[in-house]
Amino acid sequence: MTLALSHFNAAILFATFASIVFGITQRDAMREQLRYGLYCFVMFVGGVFVAGWVMWLLRR
């Protein structure tokens, strides 16, 4: 069985799992863990969009 994810889906899954681990391991209190995990997720996904637009501009 081979899984063929799109680049975007792979990036979202990557961001989700990495953010969960970062949130749990880098902060102590549960509320801080949740906030930091969400922050990491937004940064990962935001970085994907920024990189996408930069590549689009470079290609023009």
Partner 1 sequence: MVNSSAGKRPSADTAARPAQLHSGGMIPVVAPAVGWLIPGAGHLIQKRWGRGILLMVSIVTMFILGVLMDGRIYRPNGGDILDILGFVGDVGAGGLYIVSLARGLGLEPIARATADYGSKFVIVAGLLNFISVADAYHIAIGKKP
What is the 8-class DSSP label of residue 28? S
Q: Does 55 bind partner 1 (CB under 8 A)?
A: no
SS3 (DSSP) at 60? coil
Which member of 8, 21, 32, 52 binds partner 1 (CB under 8 A)?
A: 21
Shortest Å, Cβ 24 to partner 1: 5
- 30 residue type, one letter: M
Pick from 35, 11, 7: nearest CA to 23: 35
Binding site for partner 1 (CB under 8 A): 1-5, 7, 10, 13-14, 16-18, 20-22, 24-25, 28-29
